[in-house]
Amino acid sequence: MNTFKRLITARETGILIAFAIVLVATTVRNPNFTFSGDGFRDLLVTPAMLIIIAVGQAVVLITRNVDLSVGSILGLSAYLTGQLFIGTDLPIPVVALLVIIFGGLLGLVNGALIALAKVPALVITLGTMYAYRGINVMWTGSDRVNASDFPKAFLEIGTGKLWFVPWLTIVAIVVLIAVAWVMRNTRSGREFYAIGSDPAAAHLYGLPATKRIISAFILSGALAGLAGLVYASRYGTVDSQAGYGLELDAVGAAVIGGVAIAGGVGTVWGAAVGALLLTTINRALPVLGIPDFWQRAVVGVLIIGAIVLDRVLAVRQARRLAKGADR
């Protein structure tokens, strides 16, 4: 009963229902949205990239930090992928590993600056967001990597599927399950929550806050690197603007999914479901005949709605708990 109740009232469930409503409404309007081969594939594969970076973002947010540089890390990683295939004969797994490590290193730069210089993450990652993008523009120029530069096998990962599930979707799901497991079931995972919930208490408790925060940024960076691979393999062309603006979609997805900006609250599942909803709405609105410029506004309404909902729920909970304490 308790488990059932928790499942019903969970934030993730609410977002899934919203997703279902969008899906049904759009499919009624245009059955191809779900029931054509391409439609179904897009439905599954499009959210993959955002899910991956939203998961990393959620971990960072849970520690009461934010990573605004993920869009730029994604762009650099995607371009690096192309360059590695052009310049070397390395096998695909080695390239993938190198790109992920590269993303992790960029994340390490963020984490180290934040932890050691004691500057808020918002400022540091805003800075590295521009810096990484700047490096990308300098490196790429007006050049770009084209589909012909990639090995065929690599591009097939982007289009192929296992039975009916696209490979990229499987990658996103594996990442999601692994991170969710760590966050729920390991000591270090719980320490992320503790540090975000009350940094002062974490200090008194003697938790290794610096280490955890740096590792959260490394994870976020590495996942942005992975998302760069996903981008390259799905789109086949990479210019200097790849992943532009995606960091805010990642934050938005996490917030919609119930991850609190103030830290300590939420799950990576929520962030993933938020990403699913966000990408699907973005694809559904044109089908529903809603003009282009309204689409961003809808995302805004969703985020504000999610925050207002959180606030209302928090106030109600506080009132209930206070009442309970009075008795």
Partner 1 sequence: MSTTNTAPPLLRLADVSKSFGAVIALRSGSLDLAAGSIHALVGENGAGKSTLVKIVAGLYRRDGGILELDGRSVDFGSTAESKAAGIAVIYQEPTLFPDLSVAENIFMGRQPLGRLRRIDRGRMRAEATALFERLGVRLDPDRLARGLSIADQQIIEIAKAISLDARVLIMDEPTAALSGVEVERLFAVARSLRDEGRGIIFISHRFEEVFDLCDTVTVMRDGAYVSTARISETSVDEIVRQMVGRDIDELFPKTPAPIGEAILEVERLTRVGAFSDVSFTVRAGEIVGLAGLVGAGRSEVARAIFGVDQYDSGTVKVGGRRLRGGDPAAAMLAGLAFVPEDRRKQGLVIGWGVARNIALAIQRQLSSFGFITGRKENAAARIWASRLEVKAAALDTEVGTLSGGNQQKVVLAKWLATEPRVLIVDEPTRGIDVGTKSEVHRLLSDLAGRGMAILMISSELPEVLGMADRVLVMREGRLTADIPRAEATPETVMHAATHGAAS
Q: By the criterion CB under 8 A, which residues form the site for partner 1? A: 185-187, 190-191, 193-194, 196-198, 200-208, 264-265, 317-318, 321-322, 324-325
**Residue number with CB closer to partner 1 (45 or 306):** 306
Q: How far apart are the first and last CA of the chain?
A: 26
CB count in 10 Å sphere of residue 321: 10
* 212: its two tokens: 């955890």
CB of 206 vs partner 1, minimal distance in Å: 3
Q: d(Cα 265, Cα 312) in Å, to the nearest integer?
A: 15
**Residue number with CB closer to partner 1 (207 or 273):** 207
Which helix (H) or strand (E) segment holds residue 213: the answer is: helix 209-235
Q: Which of 6, 50, 26, 4 is nearest to 256 (CA)?
A: 50
CB of 250 vs partner 1, minimal distance in Å: 21
CB of 270 vs partner 1, minimal distance in Å: 14
| Cα distances (Å, whole numbers) of residue 129 to 191, 212, 217, 225, 309 | 27, 21, 13, 14, 30
Which helix (H) or strand (E) segment holds residue 67: the answer is: none
CB of 13 vs partner 1, minimal distance in Å: 19
Q: d(Cα 216, Cα 21) in Å, to the nearest integer?
A: 34
Task: Name the H helices within 236-291.
Answer: 246-256, 268-287
**Residue number with CB closer to partner 1 (138 or 200):** 200
**Residue number with CB closer to partner 1 (265 or 273):** 265
Q: Which of 66, 83, 132 is nearest to 103 (CA)?
A: 132
**Residue number with CB closer to partner 1 (56 or 264):** 264
CB of 260 vs partner 1, minimal distance in Å: 8
**Residue number with CB closer to partner 1 (194 or 284):** 194
CB of 201 vs partner 1, minimal distance in Å: 4
CB of 197 vs partner 1, minimal distance in Å: 4
Could you give the count of Cα atoms lying within 13 Å of 228 in the half-sphere of its Cβ? 41
CB of 185 vs partner 1, minimal distance in Å: 4
Phi/psi at 144 (5° precision): -155, 160
Tokens 């523009």 — which residue?
Answer: 137
CB count in 10 Å sphere of residue 289: 8
**Residue number with CB closer to partner 1 (118 or 187):** 187
**Residue number with CB closer to partner 1 (6 or 29):** 6
